[in-house]
Amino acid sequence: MKILIVDDEPKIRKGLCKIVEMHPGWYVPQSFADAESAIAFLRDNGADVVITDIHMPGLTGLDMIEQMRSACPKVVFIILTGYGKFEYAQRAIDLGVKKYLMKPTSPNEITAALEQIEADTPRKKHAAAFQKPTNNLIILRAMEYVDLHYRDRFTLRDMAAALYISPNYLSDLFKKNTGMRLSDYITEVRLEKAREYLMDVHYKVRDVSTLVGISDPRYFSSVFRKKYGMTPMEFRNEYASRQFEDPDPETFLGLKYALEAAKTGGSMPTVFNAANELAVSKFLHKKIRFLDIYDIIGQSMERHKVIENPGLEEILETESDTYQWIESRW
């Protein structure tokens, strides 16, 4: 899945790239700091998904989406922003934005949003290829049948009978309108469902092939590996490892400073807490940018002379001094 990232903050772009590239089959061809450059790339190269901020130099992310809706109708947009204004969210809904995520967000939330989009992609892609309105209804009904019966071991004849048409006509019509054999589509849907089951540890890997209507586990493992580049067991292990991966302190700077404060001890945790509290408040009141939070915390800690064993009075003085220093500069 080709994913484009548009955000004027370099650290945000770097973090999102890392999250995307951890997932097999996902990649970022390029990331951009402004909407205009992203639009130029999209017109020439396209993408499956665009993750964009709202406020950037020049065009806003929402303006970019509005421009690209007609030029690239198949592109799915995710907004990742620090602005929660109702009018922004309302406009995003009107523009057909798939997800509206608020900063700061977690890697798991971003991954979940992309996985949901990926699961929907094949049916969107082939539905967009339909040609004749009369035939579209038949194809849509065929897809609905597969969605309802993917667990069952049905035949082409069973499916055609349910749609009141001949098996040969159904097979030919599906291939003509989607460019895909019906049998391949059925396998595609079953493999998508298999991924969902494998992400849920309540289902045993050995049972998943049966749950998606594939009776031969070896065949299931073979087609799964062909599509995703790994066996079902490897996919389960890879997914589980990503849920508990060690956080990257260079990407998540708040964690880096929190660990540093805890390690230093003394009065440093007081400085961290005071700086974090005031910086977040300023961000929520739109007085600073999101990444300014980390600059404020880092500089507050850097200037502070640590008191090894502070008493209550010294803690309160440290907190007050940190507040005053931040207010004098931001």
What CATH number is given to the structural domain containing 107? 3.40.50.2300
In a domain, 63, yes or no: yes
Chosen domain end from 243, 266, 290: 243
The range of the structural domain enclosing residue 104 comes to: 3-119
Count of structural domains, the chain: 3
Sequential pLDDT tens for the chain (330 residues) = 889 999 998 888 888 888 887 777 788 888 999 999 999 988 888 888 999 999 888 899 999 998 888 788 888 999 988 876 778 888 888 888 888 888 877 888 888 888 888 876 654 444 444 444 334 688 888 888 998 899 898 999 999 999 899 999 999 999 888 888 999 999 989 998 898 888 877 788 989 999 999 989 999 999 998 888 889 998 888 776 655 556 666 667 788 889 899 999 999 999 999 999 999 888 888 888 888 899 999 999 999 999 999 888 899 999 999 999 999 988
- pLDDT tens per residue across span 171-209: 999 988 888 899 999 998 999 889 888 887 778 898 999
The alpha-helical segments, DSSP class H, found in the chain are 10-21, 35-45, 61-71, 86-94, 107-127, 133-149, 156-163, 167-178, 182-198, 205-211, 217-228, 232-243, 253-264, 268-284, 292-303, 312-327
Which residues are CB-neighbours of 118 under 8 A, at least 6 positions away?
1, 26
As a whole number of angstroms, the distance between CA 263 and CA 314 comes to 19
Cβ–Cβ < 8 Å for 27, 3: yes
Q: Are residues 177 and 87 part of one domain?
A: no
Q: Are residues 317 and 277 part of one domain?
A: yes
Chosen domain end from 70, 88, 119: 119
> What is the identity of the amino acid at 28?
V
Which residues, in sequence order, are bridge partners of residue 31? 5
Q: Are residues 315 and 292 part of one domain?
A: yes
In a domain, 248, yes or no: no
pTM of the model as a whole: 0.43
Domain harbouring 220, CATH code: 1.10.10.60
